[in-house]
Structure 1
Amino acid sequence: MSLQDRLDDLKAQGEPTMPDGVVDAFHRGTAELIASGQARHALKAGDAAPAFALADSDGNDVSSRDLLARGPLVLTFYRGVWCPYCNLDLQALEDEAARIRGLGATLAAISPQTQPNSRRSRRENHLSFPILSDTGSRVAQSFGLRFELPDYLRGTYKSLGVDLAHINGEPSWTLPMPARYVITPDSAIAYAEVNPDYTRRPDPTELLPVLERLATAATPR
C-alpha cells in the first residue's frame, strides 16, 4: 500500500470520529493556506538550499554542512509527533531508509517541536535517522515553509489537547508546510515536494530515481 493510500485511510477513519466543527476548521485552514499561494514561493528544485545548524533529539549539534559532506541529503519537514499524518510519513521514509542510504544519501527530519517530543517521535516511529528541533520554525522560514495558525485553528487544536506553544516550547503557533527535499553536496536542491495540505505526502519511493541519477553522476568515468 502506498503512503498516500495509508494517509487516505487514516483520514477516512479519523474524520468521522472528530467533534463537531473540528473537521470544518481543519478543512478551512487547509483551503486558506492553499489559497494564499505560499507553497508556490517555497524553495524548489534548482534553488540553493540555505545552510542550517540545529540540535538533534539528544542535544547534539547537527549542521547541514556536515550532513552534506557525506553525500546527498534527504530532508523532511514535518509538523510534530502529535500529527498522525506526519507519523505515517516518517514511518514510510524509514521503510525506504536502507535503500536511500545504499544510494549514498543521508536522511534527516526537521520539526519545530522540542527535543523531548523529538525523542518520543523517534522512539514511537522506530526511526534510524535524526530529528532536528527547529525552534520557531526559523529554518522552515528560510525554505519558505513557515506559516502561522489563525486564531480559530489555535482554539481547535487546543480543544483536542494539542497546545503548540507547549509542544514547541515557544509561543508563535507556527508550523512548516510538510515538505521533502533532496539536496546535493554543493547545496543545490535536486528534488522538492511541498504541499499545503498536510494530508497529502509524496511517496518516499519517488526519491530513489533522483538519488540514482545523482549517484550515477558522481561515479568516476
Structure 2
Amino acid sequence: MTLQAKLDAFKADFEAGKPPYNVPYSVIETMHRATAGLVVSGAAARALKAGDRAPDFTLSDPDGRPVSSADLLARGPLVVSFYRGVWCPYCNMELQALQAALPRFEALGAALVAISPQTAPNSRKSVRQNDLGFPILSDPHNDVAAAFGLRFAMPDELVDLYKGLKNDLPAFNGDASWTLPMPGRFVIAQDGTVLYAEVNPDYTRRPEPDDMLPALRRAASVAA
C-alpha cells in the first residue's frame, strides 16, 4: 500500500468518527476550514523550490549533538523532511515510510534527516515509536522551517480547538508561538542546490518517498 493510501484510510476512519477517535464533526469542520485557509493563503508558493539554494543549518539531534547540513552535504546529497510532531498521526506514518525507503536513499549516497519544532524528549519518543534509523533534529521556534518558507501561524480557531483537545503545542515544542511547519520534503545536492521540493499546506497529503529517487540519482551522477 502506498503512503498516501494509508493516509487516506486513516483520514476516512478519523473523519467518520470511528473508535478510538470518536471525533465530533464540528472538530473536523474546524480542521477543514484551517487547512483551506492555509491553501488559499498562497503560503506554499513562497516555499523553496527546485533550483533554489537551501539555507545552511546546524540543529541538535535528540541527544543534544549538533548536526550540520554542511557536514552532511560534504558526504553526499541530503534528504530533509519537515515534521510537525509526535502528536500528528499523518507525520508518523510519513516517518515510517521514509524509514522503509532509507536503504534506497543510502544506496545513492544520501543522508536523511527530519526536522521538527518539538522538544528533544518528544523527538526521542518519535524515534523510538517509529523505529527510526535517522535523526529528528530540533528546530526551536521553527526558524529553519521559516528559512525554507514553511513556517505559518495557526489561526485562532484552530488554536482554540487544539487547546480544547488538550493538544498543548507550546508544551510539545517549548515555544508559546503556536506556529508549525507545513509538511515539506527536499532533496539537496552537495553544492546546496535544491533538486526536489514538495510542500503541501494540506497536512493529509504527502508525496511518496520514491518520488525523490530521480533527483537523488541525478545528484549521485554529478558527484561520481
Under a length normalisation based on structure 2, what TM-score does the superposition of the two structures give?
0.96
Instruction: Map 1:150-189 onto structure 2 (within 5 A).
Output: 150-189=155-194
Matched, 1:68 2:65: no
Give 4+ residue runs of structure 1 displaced > 3 Å after superposition. none
Percent identity reads 59
Aligned to 1:12: 12
List gaps (5 residues or longer) in structure 2: 18-22
Is 1:113 matched with 2:111? Answer: no
1:103-142 alignment runs, 5 A limit = 103-142=108-147
User: What SS does the aligned partner of 1:175 have?
Assistant: strand
Structure 1 residue 212 corresponds to structure 2 residue 201: no
For these two proteins, the number of residue pairs brought into alignment is 219
In 1, the alpha carbon distance for the partners of 2:133 and 2:140 equals 22
- TM-score, normalization by structure 1: 0.97
Quick one: distance in 2 between partners of 1:212 and 1:48?
19
**1:216 offset after TM fit, Å?**
1.9
Q: CA RMSD, aligned part only?
A: 0.8
CA distance in 2, matches of 1:23, 1:103: 41
Question: Per-residue deviation at 1:161?
Answer: 2.0
Secondary structure of 1:76 counterpart: strand
Counterpart Cα distance in 1 of 2:54 and 2:179? 21
Residue 84 of structure 1: which of 80, 86, 89 is its match? 89
Q: What SS does structure 1 have at the residue aligned with 2:50?
A: coil
Q: What's the CA shift string for 1:72-128, capped at 9, x where partnerless?
A: 000000100000000000000000001100100000000000000000000000000
Distance 2:223 2:74 in 1: 13
